[in-house]
């Protein structure tokens, strides 16, 4: 059961909609099912002598009296709360809906039980699956109703009603969910042939751009380069940006003017204040000639994800929340250089986690610099990293799973559900990307003598898991990876023991795959040693070049914008 509280200033306009045909003739038999006083609330839906104007006057009585006393009508005095059952719920009778309405107005402070001076309200039904509660939030004594946190209180009461009425139990909210598109926005999207509303499309674009940029100005510049109209609100005294709004390229009103949505109206954490919090500790942009290699970028991402999974098992909520925000950014940026066959599901995972990243816990973004740095660097990676990219996809699944558990332990049900949905998309993406890499590794399985030697190594290093690993269908691929790891200069028994200590293997669906991807991300010790020797020798005769500097500041590059 879903309530959606809002406020307005026009009682007659709201009633005209409730008792009218609807924007698409979807309203059926509009009528009142409950009211502050059934005898005093004329029903324009079923009483031929009743009118909307007369009903509006009755509802507005206390507001009109207050206006005469003060000389002005109380602002935003119209309180509106649609309440809808979930898909698949049973049909509720008018009397059941009446009870729902009475409990909602009592819980939200509109009409507490036993309060003879409470606000006037009605509940209108014009469809099988929902009602609209309309009220005027001025009491008979002239005071405004105490409706603070009314949305949260309505949700809390709905959870109780669901249990008592035998309805589908929905997840409790924490007031961090973005505003749901209105029916008018949905109808407009359908007319334009769009699968999502402008509000939803702009939200997804804003998150993707925020994940990629390093400064506030770059955020607005990249949005503009995507064809999105950006309207900045400038403070009259300071001359600084105090807010912003965005409009989709093809979204206009009846006058042909762009339809703008404020950042905070897209999502709470897309307000200018929250964006600045995220970008307060900027991640340095790599110099043009000193960007990390693609292999190193993927390895840094894997390392940062492993650290994040550990943090999500800890008790520092502010640090964990910062890592969840940075993880969301990394998801968006991983979709850019990921193997082509897995990008669609990766983008869906990033979109799903947009909901999971928002909670009432304020993040200490400075504590997640390493993960944010890894996320930003992924923009410069390429998709030809093979097993390294797949290893990062594998690590993403573990981190998203840890995020779901972290939210569950703290009672954030909607975020936990969004994280679980993210896991499903990531698993599909991983399977699509991993299959060809594992097949190639399997085709390159070493000779029987070498494979037998590796079997003995596995039994020596991790005896408790050896039987499962050697019986795993991915064992041939792991054997090939062991060849590569040994050639790279690693002592296999020691490395296998370290990996087994870092990642509990008992619950792993495929322990051989866990080991394969962990070994894949291990650096090449022989190559690094050779580079170190070469660098030391060269440094005796040639000094390292300085990065290009323009005006004392490292010159920016435009690669990110072009890639988007």
Give the pLDDT score at 521. Answer: 93
Whether residue 393 is contained in a domain is answered as: yes
pLDDT at residue 336 greater than cutoff 60: yes
Mean pLDDT within 44-59: 95
Work out the percent of the chain whose per-residue pLDDT is above 70: 91
pTM of the model: 0.74
The token duo for 510 is 């495929």
Q: Indicate if 159 and 133 belong to the same structural domain.
A: yes
Q: Indicate if 453 and 407 belong to the same structural domain.
A: yes
pLDDT at residue 541 greater than cutoff 90: no
How far apart CA 85 and CA 88 sit, in angstroms, is: 8
Whether residue 512 is contained in a domain is answered as: yes
Least confident of 23-32, 47-56, 307-316, 551-560: 551-560
Mean pLDDT within 290-301: 87
Whether residue 11 is contained in a domain is answered as: yes
Whether residue 544 is contained in a domain is answered as: no
Q: Indicate if 497 and 412 belong to the same structural domain.
A: yes
Q: Indicate if 369 and 395 belong to the same structural domain.
A: yes
> In terms of pLDDT, which residue wins out, 88 or 43?
43
Whether residue 554 is contained in a domain is answered as: no
Provide CB contacts within 8 A for 452, sequence distance 6+: none
How confident is the model over 434-445, as pLDDT tens digits? 999 999 999 999
pLDDT at residue 563 greater than cutoff 90: no
Q: Indicate if 359 and 481 belong to the same structural domain.
A: yes
Give the pLDDT score at 551. Answer: 30
How confident is the model over 91-130, as pLDDT tens digits? 999 999 999 999 999 999 999 999 999 999 999 999 999 9
How far apart CA 263 and CA 244 sit, in angstroms, is: 6
Q: Indicate if 212 and 115 belong to the same structural domain.
A: no
* CB-based contact 113:106 (threshold 8 Å): yes
Q: Indicate if 62 and 126 belong to the same structural domain.
A: yes
Q: Is the dihedral of CA 225, 231, 233, 238 positive or negative?
A: positive
Whether residue 553 is contained in a domain is answered as: no
pLDDT at residue 538 greater than cutoff 80: no
Average pLDDT across the chain, whole number: 88
Whether residue 452 is contained in a domain is answered as: yes
Q: How many domains does the chain have?
A: 3
| Type and span of the H or E element at 245 | strand 241-247
Q: Indicate if 407 and 271 belong to the same structural domain.
A: no
> In terms of pLDDT, which residue wins out, 544 or 293?
293
* CB-based contact 83:1 (threshold 8 Å): yes
Mean pLDDT within 221-244: 93
How confident is the model over 360-410, as pLDDT tens digits? 888 999 999 999 999 999 998 987 778 999 999 999 999 999 999 999 998
- Domain of 82: which CATH number? 3.30.930
* CB-based contact 247:226 (threshold 8 Å): no
3-class SS letters over 64-86: HHHHHHHCCCCCCCEEEEEEECC
Full domain range(s) for residue 142 = 2-165
Q: Indicate if 451 and 302 belong to the same structural domain.
A: yes
Model confidence band, residue 349 (pLDDT cutoffs 50, 70, 90): very high
Q: Is residue 23 classed as helix, strand or coil in its secondary structure?
A: coil
pLDDT at residue 492 greater than cutoff 90: yes
Model confidence band, residue 316 (pLDDT cutoffs 50, 70, 90): very high
């Amino acid at each position: 059961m879903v309530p959606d509280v809002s406020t307005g200033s026009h009682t007659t306009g709201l009633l005209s909609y409730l008792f009218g045909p609807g924007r698409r003739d979807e309203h059926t038999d509009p009528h009142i099912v409950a009211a502050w006083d059934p005898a005093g609330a004329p029903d324009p839906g079923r009483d031929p002598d009743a009118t909307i104007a007369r009903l509006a006057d009755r509802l507005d009585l206390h507001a009109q009296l207050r206006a005469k006393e003060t000389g002005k009508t109380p602002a935003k005095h119209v309180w509106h709360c649609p309440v809808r059952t979930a898909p698949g719920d049973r049909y509720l009778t008018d009397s059941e809906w009446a009870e729902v309405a009475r409990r909602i107005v009592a819980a939200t402070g509109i009409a507490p039980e036993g309060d003879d001076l409470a606000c006037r309200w009605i509940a209108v039904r014009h469809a099988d699956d929902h009602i609209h509660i309309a009220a005027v939030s001025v009491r008979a004594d002239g005071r405004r109703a105490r409706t603070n946190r009314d949305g949260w209180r309505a949700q809390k009461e709905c959870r109780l009603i669901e249990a008592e009425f035998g309805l589908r139990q929905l997840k409790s909210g924490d007031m961090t969910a973005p505003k749901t598109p209105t029916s008018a926005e949905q109808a407009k999207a359908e007319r334009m042939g769009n699968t999502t509303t402008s509000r939803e499309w702009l939200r997804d674009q804003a998150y993707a751009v925020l994940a990629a940029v390093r400064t506030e100005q770059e955020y607005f510049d990249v949005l503009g380069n995507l064809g999105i109209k950006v309207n900045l609100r400038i403070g009259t005294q300071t001359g600084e940006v105090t807010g912003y709004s965005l409009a989709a390229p093809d979204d206009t009103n009846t006058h042909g003017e762009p339809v703008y949505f404020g950042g905070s109206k897209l999502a709470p954490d897309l307000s200018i204040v929250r964006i600045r919090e995220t970008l307060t500790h900027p991640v340095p942009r790599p110099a043009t000639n000193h960007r990390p290699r693609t292999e190193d970028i993927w390895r840094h991402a894997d390392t940062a994800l492993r650290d994040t999974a550990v943090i999500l098992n800890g008790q520092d909520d502010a640090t964990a929340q910062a890592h969840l925000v940075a993880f969301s950014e990394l998801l968006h940026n991983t979709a850019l250089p990921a193997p082509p066959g897995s990008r669609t599901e990766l983008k869906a995972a990033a979109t799903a986690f947009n909901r999971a990243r928002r909670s009432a816990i304020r993040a200490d973004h400075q504590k997640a610099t390493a993960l944010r740095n890894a996320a930003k660097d992924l923009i410069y990676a390429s998709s030809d990293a093979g097993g390294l990219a797949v290893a990062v996809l594998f690590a993403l699944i573990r981190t998203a799973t840890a995020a779901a558990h972290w939210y569950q332990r703290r009672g954030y049900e909607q975020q936990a559900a969004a994280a679980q949905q993210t896991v499903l998309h990531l698993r599909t993406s991983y399977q699509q990307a991993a299959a060809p890499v594992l097949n190639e590794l399997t085709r390159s399985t070493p000779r029987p003598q070498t494979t037998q030697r590796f079997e003995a190594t596995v039994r020596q290093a991790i005896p408790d898991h050896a039987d499962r690993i050697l019986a795993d269908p991915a064992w041939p691929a792991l054997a090939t990876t062991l060849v590569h790891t040994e050639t790279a200069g690693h002592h296999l028994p020691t490395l296998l023991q370290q990996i087994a200590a870092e990642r509990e293997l008992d619950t792993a669906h495929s322990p051989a795959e866990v080991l394969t991807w962990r070994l894949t991300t291990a650096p090449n010790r022989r190559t690094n040693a050779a580079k170190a020797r070469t660098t030391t020798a060269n440094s005796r005769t040639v000094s390292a070049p300085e990065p290009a500097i323009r005006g004392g500041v490292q010159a920016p590059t435009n690669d990110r914008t072009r890639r988007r």
